[in-house]
Amino acid sequence: MLMQNVDLKNKIILITGAAGFVGSNLVMELLKTVNPVHIIGLDNMNDYYDVSIKNYRLNEIDNLAKECHESTWTFIKGNIADKELIFKIFKENSPAVVVNLAAQAGVRYSITNPDVYVESNLIGFYNILEACRNFPVEHLVYASSSSVYGSNKKIPYSTDDKVDNPVSLYAATKKSNELLAHAYSKLYNIPSTGLRFFTVYGPAGRPDMAYFGFTNKLIKGEKIQIFNFGNCKRDFTYVDDIVEGVKRVMQHAPEKVTGEDGLPIPPYKVYNIGNNSPENLLDFVDILQQELVRAGVLPEDYDFEAHKELVPMQAGDVPITFADTSSLEADFGFKPSTSLRDGIRNFAEWYKEFYMA
């Protein structure tokens, strides 16, 4: 296991995408477990999905922060594509650790709205790198995605695999993030770690994700479409597991080492964070419907079969995602372990409380 070389205690930590699903949960985990800690959250609060969920997450953070008397929480509404703003934040606050979770998410949306992906995922990430170059940080951690594996046939997906076959613009932008981070790590000795997230789910998640979208449709009596006629597998990873992985990674920056040529070897790493246990989509839907009935979101006599539609694969999708997490386990002694049923149960209970209480 790697030794911690970044102490988060009493540090200023910048988290972009702080009102997002992973970002908000990370902020709360740090407030709960690191004392004192000083967190600056940035988010543009765009309306890609229901902004009320983002406001709910921020409200949860605000309530928690009031109880953490020695720590500080500051929220800034702004866009990482705004270079002037990013430089201002870095100049005035000198963050020690930066976690870049701000990104335009979604594979299918990238097919119809490519501009926002270029703005946020490319220009925005470039601005973060430039700020880290001009105002040096101890560690830059950033979200990549399992989508970088594209049409790779070999499973489970390993970070040693070539990832040169993206099947969506979203995937291409995430691969670009890794390439840009590598270049900046090499040129400017910026310690950076990329994390390839695998299908993150849980309470107060993203409504564009299948489990959330299916629930919304079933409540309205609409049909849910199951792609590739149900022959898809996804490595569903519960949000708490993702956050625990991020927190551990934050505390070890890749070492700065000089190579034989006298130049720095890039202090650069990439890890998968996934459940290492792909679930068939039909089994996933079966668990979802059971837990929605259990939580009282749907009635016990709901006719699920009448609301399912098996359809062909959609552009940008892949038939399976499967994370090889061996390097995460070896370096950090951690492997996601929340079962799909437990995670979906927590989501169903939250959904009932948020929308139906």
Catalytic residue, chosen from 109, 126, 157, 170, is: 170
As beta bridge partners, residue 98 has 14, 140
Whole-number Å distance between alpha carbons of 179 and 185: 10
Indicate if 355 belongs to the active site: no
Contact assessment for residue 274 and residue 336, using Cβ atoms and an 8 Å cutoff: yes
Burial level of 181, CB count in 10 A (0-12/13-18/19+)? buried
User: Which residues are designated catalytic?
Assistant: 170
